[in-house]
Amino acid sequence: MSAAEVVENLLEHHGVKGMKWGVRRKATVGPREVIVRDTRKKVKTSGGQGHPASPEAVRARTIGQIAKKSGTKALSDQDLQTYARRLSMEHQVKRLQYEEKNAAQKFVARALGRAGNRTVDDVSNATSKRIAARLARTAAVAAA
């Protein structure tokens, strides 16, 4: 038996291509079983990751793409109703999920929102001041 054959027989690969050392990978890839436990008015769940998009969600997004590219006049009344209803329901669910956040998560979301608004206000104020200064210079040059 040659050295190459010994090495060939000994080396085996037990990982996943691109896997990093120390990073664990979940054993299941597809939809997992959801476990629900009820503890004093609160319901804790686990699992539920890896589910594909529902056919209704795919249809609504397809209708949205048609509306974006060709305009809403290219859609039938039923398509428009389906799309509007889906977007409305997704918006309602997002609002409900925000209400389920704990106090710390809500605080961080509000703080980031306020910081973002302040940044936008600062940029718009600075831009409007620059535009006003430029207009004043242009008016002064035109008057002279």
- Domain-wise residue ranges, the chain: 52-100, 103-144
What confidence score (pLDDT) does residue 6 get?
67
With CA atoms as reference, report the closest residue to 63 among 83, 78, 77.
Answer: 83
pLDDT-derived band at 141 (thresholds 50, 70, 90) equals: confident
Q: What is the pLDDT of residue 81?
A: 95
Residues 46-97 have pLDDT tens digits of 666 677 788 888 899 899 999 999 998 999 999 999 999 999 999 999 888 8
- Which tokens in the block code for residue 9? 């027989």
Kind and range of the H or E run holding 97: helix 77-99
